[in-house]
Amino acid sequence: MPAKLTRRRLMGRIVIATALMPLFLPDLAAAGEGSWPDLRSELYGERFLGVSDDVISIDVPYRTTNDARTGVTVRMAAPEGHTFKGFQLILDENPMPVSAQLAFARPLADFEFAATMRVNGPTPVHAVAELDNGQLFMAESFIKTSGQGACAAPPGTDPVMALETLGQMELIVRPLNDTASLVRHLRNGHSSDLALDVEISHPSHSGMQRDQVSLLYIPARYVDTLEIDLNGAPFATMTGSISLSENPQVTLSVPSGTRRVRAKLTDSDGTVSEAERDLTDY
């Protein structure tokens, strides 16, 4: 999968987006046009993107009620005889459009991912997964918003207080309880897969927010990587972005044979934190 956009390019996009956001975002949404053609070319070049809801699909609200915390779910089931290497979640019109990337330590036949995201304005949403043979499959949807401009909205918590709990994580394991998910996993012989919720304490500062007292911009600081180990072995690594919500929740499907979960978080300032849980009920 292509590497994430460099930090210099990211900050350039943030500055440009901040200046031009009121002028362009509504017009792009209304015209049904936007950044996808350029993003597609930059990320995937001339590679073919297959489309099949049976292989990859996105679940988002038609209109989010909270632009700063919108749930996005991606479900994947590889064609018979194939597996996935990873995927990218792209919020086209966000200042940092490549919003989350997953790389699997070992290819997986099926997978489900969900996260709470910041949606800066009306935007197409794309998920692109790569199979073991290099074939790409894409799903797309669209999110309407309430116009809060979530990436520049003031933080929900005091920036100083947020630092006191930054990096703390709670690991919750539960059965998959969504019918669509169960159908996909049954098809691949994994009917008892579990869902791992990683609840993260992190302010996820976008670099576009102002301190409400000093009115100075708060430097960007967000979840850079989240590494998940199962039973002592690497399972998946998520690369994050400023599109993750404040105090984000990330959910991944994990095999039913999981007995120990470990999460390691590294943020964009280099702060590292870890959490581990032994599973006795599964």
Q: Are 110 and 190 in contact (CB under 8 A)?
A: yes
Listed range (42-56, 167-181, 218-232, 267-281) with the worst mean pLDDT: 167-181
pLDDT-based confidence at residue 149 (cuts at 50, 70, 90): confident
The DSSP string of 224-265 is EEEEEEETTEEEEEEE--TTBPSS-EEEEEE-TT--EEEEEE
Query: Is residue 255 over pLDDT 70?
Result: yes
> For position 281, what pLDDT does the model report?
63
Residues in the chain: 282
How far, CA to CA in Å, does 275 sit from each of 78, 85, 200, 225? 31, 25, 10, 14
Tens-place pLDDT, residues 74-127:
999 999 999 999 999 999 999 999 999 999 999 999 999 999 999 999 999 999
For residue 17, the SS3 value is helix
Listed range (15-19, 64-68, 146-150, 245-249) with the worst mean pLDDT: 15-19
Residue with tokens 């470990």: 262
Q: Are 89 and 241 in contact (CB under 8 A)?
A: no
- Mean pLDDT score of the chain, rounded to an integer? 86
Query: Is residue 173 over pLDDT 90?
Result: yes
Query: Is residue 9 over pLDDT 80?
Result: no
Alpha-carbon gap, residue 271 to 203, rounded angstroms: 13
**What is the assigned CATH class of domain 7-278?**
mainly beta
Strand partners, 82: none
Q: Are 92 and 124 in contact (CB under 8 A)?
A: yes
> For position 181, what pLDDT does the model report?
54
Mean pLDDT of 240-255: 97
Alpha-carbon gap, residue 241 to 118, rounded angstroms: 10
> For position 244, what pLDDT does the model report?
98
With residue 264 as reference, give the H or E element that holds it. Answer: strand 260-267
**Structural domain boundaries in the chain:** 7-278
Alpha-carbon gap, residue 152 to 26, rounded angstroms: 16
> For position 259, what pLDDT does the model report?
93
Tens-place pLDDT, residues 185-209:
555 555 458 999 999 999 999 999 8
Alpha-carbon gap, residue 267 to 218, rounded angstroms: 15
